[in-house]
Amino acid sequence: LSSIFTMTTTHRTLILSRLVVGDEIDLPSDKTLRHPPKKPDGNGRYDTVTGLTSGSKVYIVYENGRAYPEYLVTYTSTTQE
């Protein structure tokens, strides 16, 4: 009796960014949200929307100048099947 194991290698990329959050609001997942909601006082909109996506905390910004990709990390992950 013999067992044959295969190894699967996956290449992954992670972008680490700096983010100017500004005024934020935590909301449940909403795929229809195209702009941040208006502030309750009627004075503009929130800068950032935060929430959970697949169990991870995410920050969604609506202005390109608020996020700066600082590091690009590439790595491989090997699993035995």
Question: Predicted confidence band at 6 (pLDDT cuts at 50, 70, 90)?
Answer: low
Cα separation of 30 and 13, whole Å?
26
pLDDT digits (tens, 9 = 90+) for 11-63: 899 999 999 999 999 999 888 999 999 999 999 999 999 999 888 899 999 88
Q: Pull the structure tokens for residue 40.
A: 């309750």
* Confidence grade of residue 79 (pLDDT, cut at 50, 70, 90): confident
Whole-model pTM: value is 0.69
**73 exposed, middle or buried (CB, 10 Å; 0-12, 13-18, 19+)?**
exposed
d(CA 64, CA 56): 22
